[in-house]
Amino acid sequence: MIAVGCDQGGFALKGVIIDYLKEKNIEYNDLGTYTEDSVDYPVYAKKVAEAVLSGEAEKGILICGTGIGVSITANRYRGIRCALCGDVFSAKATRAHNDSNVLALGGRVVGAGLAVEIVDAWLNTEFSHEERHQRRIDMMD
């Protein structure tokens, strides 16, 4: 299951991502926000981080205007490895090298088509399990 969250700056793109998840029959939990009214992005980053850390969700996707606020917040939660991606190469590399468990996107930065490609690449790339990458992840904490 993928936990998905956003603020108003990511609301429109969240709809696009949810359409993609539905099309691919990927189970998801939409943790809000549910309108374009102004909200505080740390609330939604916390919801997604906690869903991943509890095991309720396998991974999370967070979207705000830039992707920066949600990624900074999510990375405050020990065990969360949130990667802000604006390109497909980084999306693949962060799964293979960092075993990132949350993806952050900027709803005002990436277009819908690129965002879907990033999500698709991120969800479909496995962690490499190479010793050097695991060692570096272990060093983070």
Active site residues: 64, 97
Contact 103, 82 (CB under 8 A): yes
Told to check if 84 binds ligand RB5 by CB under 6 A, we report no
Q: How far apart are CA 122 and CA 7, in angstroms?
A: 21
Q: How far apart are CA 79 and CA 72, in angstroms?
A: 13
Site for ligand RB5 in 7-66 (CB under 6 A): 7, 9, 41, 64-66
Question: Residue 1 CB, nearest distance to ligand RB5 (Å)?
Answer: 24
Residue 132, C-beta contacts closer than 8 angstroms, at least 6 positions apart: none
Closer residue to ligand RB5 (CB): 27 or 111: 111
The residue from 26, 53, 68, 114 that contacts ligand RB5 (CB under 6 A) is 68
**Which residues on adjacent β-strands are paired with residue 28?**
2
Closer residue to ligand RB5 (CB): 9 or 60: 9
Retrieve residue 107's tokens. Answer: 């709803």
**Site residues, ligand RB5 (CB under 6 A):** 7, 9, 41, 64-66, 68-69
